[in-house]
Amino acid sequence: MPSDTDTTFTMELMYRRSLGPVVGAFLTGLRDQRLLASRTAEGRVICPALEYDPDSGDAVDDLVEVGPGGVVTGWTWVPEPLRKHPSDRPFAWALVQLDGADTALVHALAADGPDAVRTGMRVVPRWADERTGHITDIACFVPEEG
């Protein structure tokens, strides 16, 4: 109100992205609780799936299943989540290299605190109850039990 000297605004645009066969298949997999990756001609397994081999630029259409568990290869702690973050509690953004994949994907990792996260720890996805074919079908990753 007028006594305030700051006014906060939000500008948002929702658009619909056409996915194509590879990214579409990756997100279809998430909806169905399967983690898909692209396998290049050289046998490199890339997750999240890419439509092309980043080394050669060649099209990639060979999809393989990876995970569901994986290893944290890097992370950063988010002490104060923002409105658009996938968690309203402090969490980590983590690079997760899924079992069978040669690259890591970025996702939220739920943990009690930064002391509970370390590079090399094993994690598994926690699936969202309602899955629509979006990266948020994985609600977050959590430390693997035992």
Partner 1 sequence: MAEDTATEDPGAPVRFMPQLIGLDYTIKTNPVAAAFGAALADGRITGHRCPSCQRVYAPPKGFCPICVVPTGEADLVEVADRGLVTSWTVLTPIQYAGQKEREDYALASILLDGADGTIGQQRLVDVPLDEIRMGLRVEAVWAPPDERVADDRGYGLGSAVSGWRPTGEPDAPPSAYQEHTL
Residues of span 24-53 touching partner 1 by CB under 8 A: 24-25, 27-28, 31
Q: Contacts with partner 1 in 4-23 (CB under 8 A)? A: 4-19
| Region binding partner 1 by CB under 8 A among candidate stretches 1-9, 45-53, 68-76, 118-126 | 1-9
Residues in contact with partner 1, shown as a per-residue x/- string from 98 to 137 under the rule CB under 8 A:
----------------------------------xxx---
CB closer to partner 1, 27 vs 98: 27
Handedness of CA 69, 70, 72, 78 (dihedral sign): negative
Q: Which of 42, 57, 80, 84 contacts partner 1 by CB under 8 A?
A: 84
Cα gap 99→6, rounded to integer Å: 48
What is the closest distance, in whole angstroms, from the C-beta atom of residue 85 to partner 1 in the complex? 12
**62 contributes a contact to partner 1 by CB under 8 A:** no
Using the minimum distance from each CB to partner 1, give the nearer residue, 13 or 120. 13
Q: Which long-range contacts (CB under 8 A, 24 or more apart) does 35-40 make?
A: 35/65, 35/66, 35/67, 35/68, 35/98, 35/125, 36/63, 36/64, 36/65, 36/66, 37/63, 37/64, 37/65, 37/66, 37/98, 37/100, 37/101, 38/62, 38/63, 38/64, 39/63, 39/64
> Of all helices (H) and strands (E), which one includes residue 20?
helix 20-31
Q: From the centroid of its chain, how far is CA 34?
A: 13
Least separation in angstroms between CB 136 and partner 1: 10
Contacting residues toward partner 1, per CB under 8 A: 1-19, 24-25, 27-28, 31, 82-84, 132-134
